[in-house]
Structure 1
Amino acid sequence: MRHVIALDVGGTGMKAGLVGLDGVPLYEARRATGRERGPDAVVESVLGFAQELLAHGRTHFGRAAEAAGAAVPGVVDTDRGVAVRSADLGWRNVPLRGLLSRRLGRIPVALGQDVPTGGLAEGRVGAARGTGRFLYVSLGTGIAGAIGIDGGIEPGAHGRAGGLGHIVVRPDGPACGCGGRGCLEALASVTAIGRAWATAGGGPGADAADCARAVEAGDEAARAVWRAAVDALADGLVTALTVLNPRALVIGGRLAGTGDTLLTPLREAVAERVTFQQLPAILPAALGDAAGWRGAGLLAGELLTRRQAV
Structure 2
Amino acid sequence: MKHVIALDVGGTGMKAALVGPEGRLLHQARRATGRHRGPEAVVDEILRFASDLHAEGRTRLGEGASALGITVPGIVDAERGVAVYAANLGWRDVPLRALIGERLHGIPVAVGHDVRSGGLAEGRAGAGRGAARFLFVALGTGIAGAIGIAGRVEEGAHGNAGEIGHVVVRPGGTPCPCGQRGCLERYASASAVSEAWARACGDPDADAADCAAAVARGDGRARKVWQEAVDALADGLVTGLTLLDPQRLIVGGGLAEAGETLFAPLRAAVEARITFQRLPEIVPAALGDAAGCLGAGLLAWDLLDAGASPAAGPSPDAPTLEVPAP
**Which band: TM-score by shorter chain?**
over 0.9
Measured in 2, the distance between the counterparts of 1:194 and 1:6 equals 32
Residue 277 to residue 107, structure 1, CA distance change in 2 (3 Å) = same
1:107 positional shift: 0.5
Measured in 1, the distance between the counterparts of 2:111 and 2:130 equals 25
1:72 corresponds in structure 2 to 72
2:248 corresponds in structure 1 to 248
Number of residue-to-residue matches in the alignment: 310
- Contact 2:54–2:65 at 8 Å: present in 1 too? yes
1:172 corresponds in structure 2 to 172
2:46 corresponds in structure 1 to 46
Counterpart secondary structure, 1:66: coil
Counterpart secondary structure, 1:22: helix
Residues 32-71 of structure 1 deviation map (CA, whole Å, 9 limit, x = unaligned): 1010111111111111111121122112222211000000
1:132 corresponds in structure 2 to 132
1:308 positional shift: 7.4
Measured in 1, the distance between the counterparts of 2:163 and 2:308 equals 34
RMSD: 1.4
Measured in 1, the distance between the counterparts of 2:145 and 2:117 equals 10
The 5-angstrom pairing of residues 54-93 of structure 1 reads: 54-93=54-93
- Contact 2:139–2:254 at 8 Å: present in 1 too? yes
- Contact 2:137–2:146 at 8 Å: present in 1 too? yes
- Contact 2:17–2:29 at 8 Å: present in 1 too? yes
Measured in 2, the distance between the counterparts of 1:88 and 1:15 equals 17
Counterpart secondary structure, 2:129: coil
1:107 corresponds in structure 2 to 107
1:268 corresponds in structure 2 to 268
Measured in 2, the distance between the counterparts of 1:202 and 1:247 equals 41
1:280 corresponds in structure 2 to 280
Measured in 1, the distance between the counterparts of 2:308 and 2:78 equals 21
Counterpart residue type for residue 186 of structure 1: R
Measured in 2, the distance between the counterparts of 1:246 and 1:16 equals 31
1:211 positional shift: 1.1
Measured in 1, the distance between the counterparts of 2:256 and 2:16 equals 21
Counterpart residue type for residue 116 of structure 2: P
Measured in 2, the distance between the counterparts of 1:134 and 1:301 equals 22
Q: Which runs of 5+ in 2 are unaligned?
A: 313-326
Measured in 2, the distance between the counterparts of 1:126 and 1:102 equals 33
Measured in 1, the distance between the counterparts of 2:29 and 2:264 equals 33
Moved more, 72-81 or 144-153: 72-81
Measured in 2, the distance between the counterparts of 1:181 and 1:73 equals 22
Measured in 1, the distance between the counterparts of 2:258 and 2:60 equals 37
1:261 positional shift: 1.5
Q: Which runs of 5+ in 1 are unaligned?
A: none
- Contact 2:175–2:182 at 8 Å: present in 1 too? yes
The 5-angstrom pairing of residues 1-310 of structure 1 reads: 1-307=1-307
Residue 283 to residue 54, structure 1, CA distance change in 2 (3 Å) = same
Counterpart secondary structure, 1:178: coil
- Contact 2:101–2:108 at 8 Å: present in 1 too? yes
Percent of aligned pairs with the same amino acid:
64
Residue 307 to residue 123, structure 1, CA distance change in 2 (3 Å) = same
- Contact 2:108–2:308 at 8 Å: present in 1 too? no
2:316 corresponds in structure 1 to none
1:25 positional shift: 2.2
Counterpart secondary structure, 1:307: coil
Measured in 2, the distance between the counterparts of 1:35 and 1:152 equals 31
Measured in 1, the distance between the counterparts of 2:153 and 2:182 equals 27
Counterpart residue type for residue 85 of structure 1: Y
Measured in 1, the distance between the counterparts of 2:31 and 2:216 equals 33
Residue 184 to residue 308, structure 1, CA distance change in 2 (3 Å) = closer
Counterpart secondary structure, 1:7: strand
Measured in 2, the distance between the counterparts of 1:107 and 1:211 equals 47
Counterpart secondary structure, 1:282: strand
Measured in 2, the distance between the counterparts of 1:151 and 1:239 equals 23
Measured in 2, the distance between the counterparts of 1:33 and 1:56 equals 19
Residues 245-287 of structure 1 deviation map (CA, whole Å, 9 limit, x = unaligned): 0000011111112222211111111112122111111111111
